[in-house]
Amino acid sequence: MTTTTKEGSAVVQARRVLVLNSGSSSVKYQLLDMNDRSRLAIGLVERIGEETSRLLHTPLTGGDAETRERTGRIADHAAALKAAAEELAADGLGLDSPELAAIGHRVVHGGLRFTEPTVITDEVLTEIERLVPVAPLHNPANITGIRTAQALRPDLPQVAVFDTAFHTTMPEYAARYAIDVETADAHRIRRYGFHGTSHAYVSRKAAELLGRAPEEVNVIVLHLGNGASASAVAAGRCVETSMGLTPLEGLVMGTRSGDIDPAVTFHLKRVAGMSTDEIDVLLNKKSGLVGLCGDNDMREIRRRIDEGDERAALAFDIYVHRLKKYIGAYSAVLGRVDAVVFTAGVGENSAPVREAAIAGLEELGLVVDAGLNAVRSGEPRLISPNYARVAVAVVPTDEELEIADQTFALVGQAEPAGQQVPVGQVDN
Ligand code: AMP
């Protein structure tokens, strides 16, 4: 967007934000226009480093959103971001544009230090590196993404939005494990919680759906994706969450066990002779729904149940039983609950999971209306009947929008300030 000054130079309003979510072998990106918070383009580079790398890019500025695909080896994150930048440039959305205000990065672990979105400096990056031992799977990929983006646009503010930040308001009695304090502190062992950007966004949207301010409501958020976590949010602040030092704790997930007796790990080591790395892979990648029945996609599990598959049915029951335990526990933690909110892939799409998780909880004021629950929609919506004491809702999450909002709030330019460039150089 541009305006023209008296002198004839154009003032470019830098109001675009690029959101980057860098995983170990993938980069997801979205370019947003913060004038109306609309998406200009979305994309994904996956299987980075393999022969079968793939880039999917969808520009959203024209009429029909048509996805372009590139296949063939993309060697590393730098090459992935370069390829994404080329695709964006082909749509007139080049990352060299003066309209780009900032790059917002999803960073998984911010420890106790990062309680807010933070402009990335060398010192901040060093601190994110110091947290690698508590997030060995995630933070290294996030750091690579940041370095790559910095190399691409060294002049631009880069902002880290931490998955853990929303949970830093948890009281000490919820965040501490009951283990030796010196050992815990020496190794920074405590409950950090993850998916915080989603829990923050969804709990705020739920308050909006109820027509009330976030400070007025207590909400239980159930983020049920391939990874899954629950949080108890009192008056807009997180007071408890199910993931812990790492994303392994809590609910049954697609491939993670969630809660187990920690002694299972000693047992596997001493009796089954497994190494620490093997146990890590077992609990993070071969457990949860996939460990229980061989499938981690809830659609496939429901299909198998409809065909009478008993293993799939047991996996579903274990998944739902764990959910119920957390709803009950967090009701007790909050004292008064105004809404239970489902979000993410399973939470937004699986009516049977929502129905089963709430069934039998009438004593807690929780009821689901079968008709409302069956409605498919991309909008926030209530699925409890009018008479229910506690609202049950489905609120689609939008972590990228939340990252863009937080990034822009931190570094976005207030109007009418802007970068002045001669008219001919304006990139639309
Ligand atoms: P997410 O991590 O939020 O992208 O969620 C991914 C998971 O959502 C998948 O593994 C599926 O189990 C689940 N999912 C996605 N679409 C549906 C659907 N239509 N019905 C049931 N489950 C779904």
If pLDDT is split at 50, 70 and 90, which confidence band does 421 have? very low
| Rounded distance between C-alpha atoms, residue 249 and residue 363, angstroms | 27
Kindly give the distance from the C-alpha atom of residue 297 to the centroid of ligand 1, in angstroms, as a whole number: 6
pLDDT of residue 80: 94
Q: Judge whether 2-162 and 214-398 match in fold.
A: yes
What is the full DSSP assignment across 197-247?
HHHHHHHHHHHHHTTS-GGG-EEEEEEESSSEEEEEEETTEEEEES--SST
- CB distance 21 to ligand 1 below 6 Å: no
Match 């198998």 to its residue by tokens: 304
- For the cut 90, the answer to whether the pLDDT of residue 425 exceeds it is no
Cβ neighbours of residue 403 under 8 Å, at least 6 residues apart? Answer: 19, 21, 104, 105, 106, 161, 197
- CB distance 349 to ligand 1 below 6 Å: yes
Kindly give the distance from the C-alpha atom of residue 325 to the centroid of ligand 1, in angstroms, as a whole number: 22
Task: Show the CA angle centred on residue 342, arms to residues 337 and 348, nearest 5°.
Answer: 160
| Rounded distance between C-alpha atoms, residue 342 and residue 340, angstroms | 7
- Pairing relationship of beta strands 27-33 and 38-46 according to DSSP bridges: antiparallel
- What is the torsional sign of CA 256, 257, 261, 266? negative
pLDDT single digits (tens) 393-417: 999 999 999 999 999 999 986 443 3
User: In terms of Cα–Cα distance, which of 23, 19, 48, 50 is closest to 34?
Assistant: 19
- CB distance 350 to ligand 1 below 6 Å: yes
Kindly give the distance from the C-alpha atom of residue 423 to the centroid of ligand 1, in angstroms, as a whole number: 47
pLDDT of residue 414: 46
- CB distance 225 to ligand 1 below 6 Å: yes
Measured from the Cα of 397, ligand 1's closest atom is 3
Instruction: Indicate the CATH number for domain 2-162.
Output: 3.30.420.40
283-294: average pLDDT: 97
Coil/strand/helix, residue 294? coil
Identify which of 21, 349, 375 to mutate to test ligand 1's pocket (most ligand atoms within 8 A of the CB).
349
pLDDT of residue 11: 63
Measured from the Cα of 344, ligand 1's closest atom is 3
pLDDT single digits (tens) 10-63: 566 899 999 999 988 899 999 999 999 999 999 999 999 999 999 999 999 877
- Pairing relationship of beta strands 381-382 and 10-12 according to DSSP bridges: unpaired
Q: At what angle do helices 276-285 and 263-270 cross, to 10 degrees?
A: 130
pLDDT of residue 136: 85
- For the cut 50, the answer to whether the pLDDT of residue 420 exceeds it is no
Kindly report the protein residue whose alpha carbon is nearest to atom 11 of ligand 1: 297
pLDDT single digits (tens) 69-87: 999 999 998 899 999 999 9
- Provide, for the chain, the percentages of residues in helix, strand and coil under a 3-state DSSP scheme, each rounded to the nearest 5: 40, 20, 40
User: In terms of Cα–Cα distance, which of 193, 168, 165, 169 is closest to 104?
Assistant: 165
169-200 per-residue burial string, b: 16 or more CB within 10 A, e: under 16: ebeeebbeeeeeeeeeeeeebbbbbbbbbbbb
Q: Is residue 163 among the annotated active site residues?
A: yes
- CB distance 254 to ligand 1 below 6 Å: yes
- Pairing relationship of beta strands 2-4 and 381-382 according to DSSP bridges: unpaired
- This model's pTM is above 0.95: no
pLDDT single digits (tens) 237-285: 999 999 999 999 999 999 999 999 999 999 999 999 999 999 999 999 9
366-385 per-residue burial string, b: 16 or more CB within 10 A, e: under 16: bbbbeebbeeeeeebebbbe
Neighbouring C-alpha atoms within 13 Å toward the C-beta of 397: 27
Kindly give the distance from the C-alpha atom of residue 226 to the centroid of ligand 1, in angstroms, as a whole number: 7
Kindly give the distance from the C-alpha atom of residue 56 to the centroid of ligand 1, in angstroms, as a whole number: 19
Measured from the Cα of 223, ligand 1's closest atom is 3
Both tokens assigned to 347: 């939470």
Q: How far apart are the first and last CA of the chain?
A: 7
Fold classification of 214-398 (topology level): Nucleotidyltransferase; domain 5 (3.30.420)
| Rounded distance between C-alpha atoms, residue 28 and residue 54, angstroms | 12
- For the cut 50, the answer to whether the pLDDT of residue 226 exceeds it is yes
pLDDT of residue 124: 97
User: In terms of Cα–Cα distance, which of 243, 140, 256, 126 is closest to 193?
Assistant: 243
Active-site residue (options: 33, 64, 163, 427): 163
- CB distance 110 to ligand 1 below 6 Å: no
Kindly give the distance from the C-alpha atom of residue 128 to the centroid of ligand 1, in angstroms, as a whole number: 30
Both tokens assigned to 155: 């002049």
- CB distance 346 to ligand 1 below 6 Å: yes
| Element housing 100 (H / E) | strand 100-107
- Listed by start position, the domains of the chain span 2-162, 214-398
Identify which of 28, 243, 251, 297 to mutate to test ligand 1's pocket (most ligand atoms within 8 A of the CB).
297
Q: Are 294 and 303 in contact (CB under 8 A)?
A: no
Cβ neighbours of residue 86 under 8 Å, at least 6 residues apart? Answer: none
Count helices and strands (H / E) in the chain: 15, 17
pLDDT single digits (tens) 344-396: 999 999 999 999 999 999 999 999 999 999 999 999 999 999 999 999 999 99
Neighbouring C-alpha atoms within 13 Å toward the C-beta of 96: 8
Better pLDDT: 132 or 413: 132
- CB distance 226 to ligand 1 below 6 Å: yes
- CB distance 344 to ligand 1 below 6 Å: yes
Kindly give the distance from the C-alpha atom of residue 420 to the centroid of ligand 1, in angstroms, as a whole number: 46
pLDDT of residue 12: 66
Measured from the Cα of 254, ligand 1's closest atom is 10
pLDDT single digits (tens) 84-118: 999 999 999 999 999 999 999 999 999 999 999 99
Distance, C-alpha 317 to centroid of its chain: 25
- For the cut 80, the answer to whether the pLDDT of residue 166 exceeds it is yes
CA distances from 189 to 111, 134, 245, 263, 266 (A): 10, 8, 6, 17, 18
Across the beta sheet with 419-421, what order do the strands follow?
A: 2-4, 10-12, 419-421
User: In terms of Cα–Cα distance, which of 342, 258, 257, 284 is closest to 138?
Assistant: 284
Kindly report the protein residue whose alpha carbon is nearest to atom 19 of ligand 1: 349
